Amino acid sequence: MVYINTEKEYVKAVGQFSDMIFRIAYQNLFNTSDAEDVVQDVFLKLLKQKDKGFNDYEHLKSWIIRVTINQCLDYKKSFFRKNTVYLEDFEIPYEPHEREILEELYQLPKDYRNILYLYYYEEYTIKEIAEILGKKQNTVNSKLVRGRNRLKKLMEVKHG
């Protein structure tokens, strides 16, 4: 069992998962400030889980991803978010070689985007993604195939 019930374990979890949570939040919200807020919210929820254990490291990581995606959905639904106009420039917090494909990925619907991101960037299997998102493996597999095809078409249009 993995417990996050000491300051040392919590700090370790923050160090291990902050970047991943930020990337997932950013690719859902497209805003640095909102993504940072989600990171904080996810870690607050983790802090509240201190008495509950996780089966293993992968269970903890899956829980964090699921909570991150749910926080993004909640954030998008919030009154504040719907009534805010951001003046910040659209900035993608990735390496230059990753930006081009991520710009195309951001144009896909969120279901495809999350599945493609988890599969290629976080290197989860279809089975693991299905468990994280609470979907059937066949659904994840078909969305992965459809998402790849849509991404391919987007890139063909851009590059001729």
- Here the tokens at position 45 are 């929820």
pLDDT tens profile 94-132: 666 666 677 778 888 888 999 998 998 889 999 999 999
- Here the tokens at position 120 are 């290629």
- Here the tokens at position 141 are 């597999």
CB contact at 8 A, 116 and 159: no
pLDDT tens profile 35-56: 999 999 999 999 998 778 898 9
